[in-house]
Amino acid sequence: MTAAMPVRRYQLALCVGMLLAAMACTKESAPVSVLPADRIAPSPVGTNQTVLQSTFVVKTSATFPFEVPAHAVRPHLHGIYESFAGELHGASDDSANLDFLLVNEEQQADLLQNRPSEALVSVEASHNQAVNFDLPPSLDRPVKYYLVFRNTSGSRSKKVVQANFRVDF
């Protein structure tokens, strides 16, 4: 055996090691899971959105969808409504009562299918109401909600509603 043999083994081992290291570097690594809250995107914080500012008629029900944009950390819905029996500025007493609901998409689907469901906010038989409610954070995608005004059960008379709602982010 010559002195060159250990050097060749060392060179061979070095080459194999470098080859394995190069293969390891080119291997695709598993995708890294990023939590929605860790994604960077424009934040709506410090802004607001008008959800409903209108006068409308409710025979059976009226629904108004709105969307909270992605990355809204602490959206807050607030507003007021007043209902009148028959016509605008008519009687605003128990004869003008209606139900008010704030629901998410799943709850809205249940309402449309006449399935029992809960609401985020529910006000029964009221003709004048202020609403203040903190909505859940929207994380990395927009979230849809619905304001629902329903004529109270058994009432056949139309109601006229003045409503003003907005969301602060």
pLDDT band at 149 (very low <50, low <70, confident <90, very high): very high
Q: Does pLDDT of 47 surpass 70?
A: yes
| Structural domain span for residue 150 | 42-168
95 in any annotated domain: yes
pLDDT of residue 103: 98
* 147 within a domain of the structure (yes/no): yes
Decide if 33 is inside a domain: no
Distance between CA atoms of residues 158 and 110, nearest Å = 24
Alpha-carbon span 127 to 64, nearest angstrom: 18
* Nearest one of 53, 47, 111 to 75, comparing CA atoms: 47
Q: How far apart are CA 67 and CA 148, in angstroms?
A: 14
- Number of domains the chain contains: 1
What's the pLDDT tens digit per position in 72-82?
989 999 999 99
CA distance 104 to 85: 28
Residue with the bigger pLDDT between 77 and 7: it is 77
Residue 93 lies in a domain: yes
For the sheet containing 159-168, what is the strand order?
48-58, 159-168, 76-85, 128-134
- pTM (2 d.p.): 0.72
In a domain, 28, yes or no: no
102: CATH? 2.60.120
What is the model's pLDDT at position 23? 58
In a domain, residue 31? The reply is: no
- Reported confidence tier of residue 139, pLDDT bands at 50, 70, 90: confident
Within a domain: 3:
no
Q: What's residue 136's pLDDT?
A: 95
Within a domain: 36? no
Q: Per-residue pLDDT for 158 more than 70?
A: yes
Residue 42: pLDDT band by 50, 70, 90 thresholds? low
E strand intervals along the chain: 48-58, 61-68, 76-85, 98-104, 121-126, 128-134, 143-151, 159-168
